[in-house]
Amino acid sequence: MRGVRTCCHPALFRHLCLLVCCLEGPLSVSLQNTSAVLLAACPCPLGLATPAALVVGTGRAARQGVFFKGGVQLEQLHKTKVVLIDKTGTITHGRPMITDILLTSHPSIQSQRQLLHLAGSAELSSGHPLARVIVEYASQYTRPVDPTEFLSFPGQGVRATVAGQQVLVGNLRLLKEHDVNVSGLPSCKDEWEKGGKTVALVAINRRIAGLIAVADTIKPSSRSAIRHLQALGMRVVMVSGDNVKTSNAVAREVGIGDVLAELTPEDKVRVIRHFQRQRYSVAMVGDGINDAPALAAADVGLAVGTGTDVALEAADVALIGADLEGVVQAILLSRATMRCIVQSFSWALLYNGITIPFAAIGWLNPLLAGAAMAFSSVTVVLNALRLKRSKLRV
Ligand code: ADP
Ligand code: MG
């Protein structure tokens, strides 16, 4: 780059031309040809092509609410072949509503209020969307208290000690891992899940005490955004920590055929590695703490703006809204930026390829060579600026 600046320096160029023009004879001709070749061979436009396009591309993305943490990610995203999308909080709002509560016979639970008090207290410190809705709902009937012990199991649920009782709130995996007998689960669990609801199981002192069904709503833009991603040639896969039935119901609703459910955060990373081994470039879209390892492992991680700080920190791209259309825009912008870089490179190579031979055989005056070099650099910059307004269509 230092060499490039030296040969383009206007003062040096002017002095060189003046000196050359004052000379006569064969020395003058060879000096003129040499300076014309030097000027024609100046790789300014080549050096400008990539940074100019990346700067304009990231700027335009930011105006559209898509924040790339660097130019590399903008460049990387156009290679994406597989997009993995998390369910809760990413495809859905992650603001579920409690629709059903069922008590099983448990010696220490006599009423819904008692169950809600223990479940709400256990969930008090969890940032999961399900936890928030349980706490909110429980607060209408009782006053949740801070648990004496609290442990969160990402992708599974929570374990807490409330008023001396061990409370588990989460999915089947959580209960099984805590040796809770889950053989006699009521059949309504299956029905609720087939209807797309998520069922949080509550166990007190390692015995099932109740089931809380929550229905999450799908973001209005999710369906069209997923259709757009598929139209862009992406393989879209839903990766969820939720159970198979609920995940399938949501996937059907938004038009996703590939569903991987009941995944732990580590499983999500394993799925990414699986696609990467097949030489696919993978983008991961998520919102929760449970998505953070996958967001970091993917070739490009995109976090929705309503997600947790951990997810936003782990991702390469932060979308300002909750909308999945931001992912489509990010990919379109990345493709447009790469197109722009290729155009500028081709132009710069063409310019060098034509002007250097002409300069070498003395058919190009140094003044003209300098002007052509400047024109070429301006063209590259103008081409990059075009990105600011170019139409992005699926
Ligand atoms: P997704 O991958 O779809 O975003 P998560 O990995 O966040 O889902 O959660 C997976 C499942 O784990 C949830 O559907 C829920 O059953 C259970 N779960 C996770 N955290 C909690 C919690 N704090 N309270 C209750 N259940 C939870
Ligand atoms: Mg999520």
CB atoms within 10 A of CB 56: 21
Note the pLDDT of residue 5.
41
In 64-180, the DSSP E strands lie at 66-68, 80-86, 97-103, 149-153, 157-162, 165-170
Taking the CA of 126 as reference, the closest ligand is 1
DSSP letter for each residue of 250-269:
HHHHHT--EEE-S--HHHHH
Strands 80-86 and 235-239: parallel
- Above 90 in pLDDT, residue 22? no
> Is 267 strand, coil or helix?
helix
Note the pLDDT of residue 302.
97
Which residue has the CA at smallest separation from atom 27 of ligand 1?
A: 157
Note the pLDDT of residue 7.
43
Active site residues: 86
As a whole number, mean pLDDT of residues 363-369 equals 87
For the ranges 40-49, 116-125, 128-137, the lowest mean pLDDT is seen at 40-49
Which residue has the CA at smallest separation from atom 4 of ligand 1?
A: 88
Q: Does ligand 1 lie within 6 Å of residue 200's CB atom? A: yes
Q: Does ligand 1 lie within 6 Å of residue 86's CB atom? A: yes
Query: Considering the chain, what is the average pLDDT of its residues?
Result: 90
Q: Does ligand 1 lie within 6 Å of residue 158's CB atom? A: yes
Q: How far is the CA of 358 from the centre of ligand 1 (A)?
A: 68
Note the pLDDT of residue 288.
87
pLDDT, one tens digit per residue, over 258-311 is 999 999 999 999 999 999 999 999 999 999 888 999 999 999 999 998 888 899
375: Cβ–Cβ under 8 A, 6 or more apart, which residues?
none
Q: Which two tokens stand for residue 56?
A: 């304009």
Which residue has the CA at smallest separation from atom 7 of ligand 1?
A: 155
- Give the up-direction half-sphere exposure of residue 161: CA atoms within 13 A in the CB hemisphere: 3
Ligand 1, atom nearest to 268 Cα: 2
In the chain, the DSSP E strands lie at 66-68, 80-86, 97-103, 149-153, 157-162, 165-170, 198-204, 207-215, 235-239, 258-260, 281-286, 300-304, 317-319
CB 255 within 8 A of CB 226: yes
Q: What is the C-alpha separation between 385 and 60, in angstroms, rounded?
A: 10
For the ranges 21-25, 167-171, 201-205, 381-385, the lowest mean pLDDT is seen at 21-25
28 or 16, which is more confident?
28
DSSP letter for each residue of 279-293:
T-EEEEEE-SGGGHH
Taking the CA of 262 as reference, the closest ligand is 1
Under the banding of pLDDT at 50, 70 and 90, the label for residue 184 is confident
Q: How far is the CA of 89 from the centre of ligand 2 (A)?
A: 5
Q: How far is the CA of 38 from the centre of ligand 1 (A)?
A: 64
Strands 281-286 and 80-86: parallel
pLDDT, one tens digit per residue, over 36-71 is 888 888 888 888 889 999 999 999 999 999 999 999
- How many helices (H) and strands (E) would you count in the chain? 16, 13
Which residue has the CA at smallest separation from atom 21 of ligand 1?
A: 157
pTM: 0.82
CB 179 within 8 A of CB 154: no
Ligand 1, atom nearest to 264 Cα: 6
For a substitution probing ligand 1, which of 240, 253, 284 has the most ligand atoms within 8 Å of its CB?
Answer: 240
Ligand 1, atom nearest to 286 Cα: 4
Q: Does ligand 1 lie within 6 Å of residue 293's CB atom? A: no
Q: Does ligand 1 lie within 6 Å of residue 290's CB atom? A: yes
Ligand 1, atom nearest to 243 Cα: 14
Note the pLDDT of residue 12.
60
298: Cβ–Cβ under 8 A, 6 or more apart, which residues?
84, 272, 282, 283, 284
Portion of the chain with pLDDT greater than 70, in percent: 94
Note the pLDDT of residue 2.
38
b/e code 246-273 from CB counts within 10 Å (16+ = b): bbbbbbeebebeebbbbbbbebbbebbe
CA distances from 238 to 84, 102, 242, 255, 286 (A): 6, 29, 11, 10, 10
Under the banding of pLDDT at 50, 70 and 90, the label for residue 208 is very high
For the ranges 11-20, 109-118, 304-313, the lowest mean pLDDT is seen at 11-20
Q: Which two tokens stand for residue 94?
A: 């992650």
Taking the CA of 246 as reference, the closest ligand is 1
Taking the CA of 285 as reference, the closest ligand is 2
Note the pLDDT of residue 9.
56
Q: Does ligand 1 lie within 6 Å of residue 171's CB atom? A: yes
Span 66-93+218-320: which CATH code? Answer: 3.40.50.1000
Looking up tokens 């609410």, which residue turns up? Answer: 65
**Domain 97-215, CATH class in plain words:** alpha beta
Domain spans in the chain, listed from the N-terminal domain onward: 2-49+336-388, 66-93+218-320, 97-215
Q: What is the C-alpha separation between 319 and 73, in angstroms, rounded?
A: 14
